Structure 1
Amino acid sequence: WQPVPVQTRPIYDDGMLVPGDCHCPEASTEYERFKNSPRGQEFLRNHHSLYVNLSELTGEAVDGWDKAAQIYDALLIEKIHNYSVPDWTESYWSRLKEQSDKSFVFYSATPLLKRLRAGLVLANITNYMKQAAVVNSSYDSGEKLKKLYMYSTHDTLVSSLLDALNIFDGKAPPYGSTLLLELHRDGAGGHFVEGYSLNALDMEAKRVSFPGCSAQPCPLDEFLRLASVNIPR
């Protein structure tokens, strides 16, 4: 039996794995700034009639994509568990799905939001990579190196991390979505990063290519440079 240590922090204080629930006034202010930007306001105007209809159908005050996405999420869960959904659901399904997808896109829509949403976990991951590269470069170091770090979080952080690495496809991550980042060492002593995506619907992981790298898999120094753009200083 191999015990596995699990580290947790109170949700209100966990800016790394649940940044959306952690108290971060700067992130809240930036998100409101985006909502009031031309891009945000145009989206709200274009879907105003949808929000009015959803408010009438659900009894909820639907004023934007966040609330519409919550409705989609609730209905999706009911569908997955074979519960009955309202008769109007199917005629609104594709539009609700669009609202859900956009809520993830908009969640990290600006450079500042990317840093505030995904920056801490990205810093944590890249720090472990740098430590591993140093240890692996010297067989005489005597240091013990952990082979695997696992992070359990929410879909919003998954999408933000993908966005920060420029590999987000703009679709809401399905339940069970996983991003695998692997650090490898070649025969010449160089290090490189391979990425794979996996969700509950996939039979096997899919290779991910990192834009901006001169080669795939991505050389570690280039991966660190690309990641550093979205790591808070």
Structure 2
Amino acid sequence: MATSSNSSMRIAGGALLFAASTALAAPLAPMAAARDALERSLKAKCPPCTFEVREDADAATERDLAAAPQWTVKSTDTALRRRMTVLLEPVGTAAVRAARVGFTVEAHANAWKLLHAADPGVPLRAEDVQAVTADAIAEPDLAAVPDVALWRPTRPLPEGRVLRLSDLAAADSVLRGDLVDVRLQAGAVALEARGTALNAGKPGELVKVALPGRRDTVEGTVTADRRILVRP
């Protein structure tokens, strides 16, 4: 009876150990694990971008990684640069210090290039731009927007410029300094005026406007056609 009990215990123990060993995925080699972590970090940082990541391991790096049998990723660089690093820590030993491994990164994204100079405030048209693939590291803040007609330049832009988000504002938004039409509505009475926006706003947001000949300002709501509606 004791033999049967010991046998079942051994069988149960063997099954448990087998389950535990098969549940653990085979660990990646240190450089492969570092590269995988960096690629996932880059994709989260710039979803529209495509990346090419190349290892920069040298003899010193290989010697450092050979000092411990297993490593884990502690952190990755956060700023998108041509050369990026990943910090690895040894597992199960305090005698080996952390190692930093390097990678060369290429990043590209779809963007728009102006076919001619563009004036501020005028909504872009499809015929104003050409689709290009741009270097997302050399050209940060790329405007990878699907429809350029929803945008307008915030300042004069030269022919050939690859558009950045900082160059553009939503076509239906009001920017500080814009000349805007103001409609003052009081019941059935409506007055029209033209003034200068003192702050930026999107449709539904409040914008203050300075009107010619008046010391005080008026405040109204931006409408879909970029007018300012003022109600008492």
Interval of TM-score (by shorter of Structure 1 and Structure 2):
under 0.3
Q: TM-score, normalised by structure 1?
A: 0.21
More strand by share: 2
More helix by share: 1
Which structure is larger by alpha-carbon Rg, 1 or 2?
2
The answer to which structure, 1 or 2, has the higher relative contact order (CA under 8 A, 6+ apart) is 1
